[in-house]
Amino acid sequence: MQKRKLGKSGLEVSAIGLGCMGMSQSFGPLPDKNDAIYLIHAAVERGVNFFDTAEVYGQAHHNEELVGEALAPFKGKVVIATKFGIQTVNGKQVLDSKPEVIRRSIEGSLRRLRIETIDLYYQHRVDPQVPIEEVAGVIQDLIKEGKIRHWGLSEAGVETVRRAHAVQPLAAVESEYSMMWRSPEQELLPVLEELGISLVPFAPLGKGFLTGTIDKNAKFGSDDFRSKQPRFQSENLEANQALVELIKQAAAEKQATPAQIALAWVLAQKPWIVPIPGTRKLERLKENIGAADIEMTQEELTDLNAALSRIEIVGDRYPAGSDYSKRAGK
């Protein structure tokens, strides 16, 4: 597995990481714990050393507990990223990045992850009630105390990125980014390049759509968050098949799968981009890892981007007016 550096931090990670959220929530019935641990171990064995979780993933911090148990045998050999700033109160998620809450959160995360220092600690979403400079100051103190190595922001807007970075340099910004969602190219990517911060794209496979396995007949259960997302409504799935057909065509030419093309495209955009596709299946894990070996020439990339620019993506990623939509890009 090739390696990439996260920003100017010196933190070296596998070119493709593993997003672990789906092992604890959002995509229907949860996998058996032993199966999830086996998958994480299989990722390590295949060269993945970058694992992404969060305090709020799953019931009762299920995902951090799972990741901590799975990666305990590999302490010092893997990079773990987790997140603070979203609390569950009376069954509802609320933003809270008050200094005392951050300090309480990190102690819980360190305990659940079974480590003494968090490699990469993201603010999960920007809290409009707490100035980002104040958050960065707390992080600065936690770095001095040896509880954090590096920090980042998730789904933050460019002005927040600049203000945070001025106080304590950021290693990475996590954001949705894929052939289906290219919004970060407008403002975020240029600012990250200017400041020397890496992009860590979540949902680089469009939450499964770019694998070519989802069409207008797809059904999602009530425990699958895609059932509530506009882009996964039947009419939008049908309208966006043009994108899938383009990816399938490119895959055929490269003797690859659609998922591999979608990931290779993300990797080819910048050498400081590290996608974190999630999966619960070993065959998908192997497929995703294989994308790191696919090289796209500049000509292939130019042609693909030109074709992408002619395709209009239908359907927002979050329901209008929802908490998810209100939190993004602040």
Structure tokens at 224: 């699958």
Which among 200, 325, 210 has a CA at the least distance from the CA of 270? Answer: 200
| Predicted pLDDT at 89 | 86
Q: What is the CATH number of domain 3-212+269-294?
A: 3.20.20.100
At residue 240, the pLDDT reads 93
How are beta strands 86-89 and 92-95 bridged, if at all? antiparallel
Q: What pLDDT, in 10s, does the model give residues 158-184? A: 999 999 999 999 999 999 999 999 999
Q: Which of 189, 155, 190, 183 shows the shortest CA–CA distance to 325?
A: 155
pLDDT tens digits along 192-232: 999 999 999 999 999 989 998 888 888 888 888 788 888 88
Distances (CA, A) of 18 to 36, 38, 147, 164, 248: 12, 13, 23, 26, 23
57 is catalytic: yes
- Rounded Cα gap, residues 179 and 308, in angstroms: 8
Are 146 and 116 in contact by the 8 Å Cβ rule? The answer is: yes
Lowest mean pLDDT among 22-36, 74-88, 240-254, 295-309: 22-36
Residue 326 has pLDDT above 70, yes or no: no
Q: Higher pLDDT residue, 124 or 29?
A: 124
For the chain, domain boundaries: 3-212+269-294
CA distances from 26 to 23, 61, 155, 174 (A): 9, 14, 18, 18
H or E element in which residue 62 lies: helix 62-71
3-state secondary structure of 178: coil
Considering 57, 121, 122, 177, which one is annotated as catalytic?
57
The total of other beta-carbon atoms located within 10 Å of residue 23's CB is: 28
Q: Tell me 115's DSSP state.
A: -
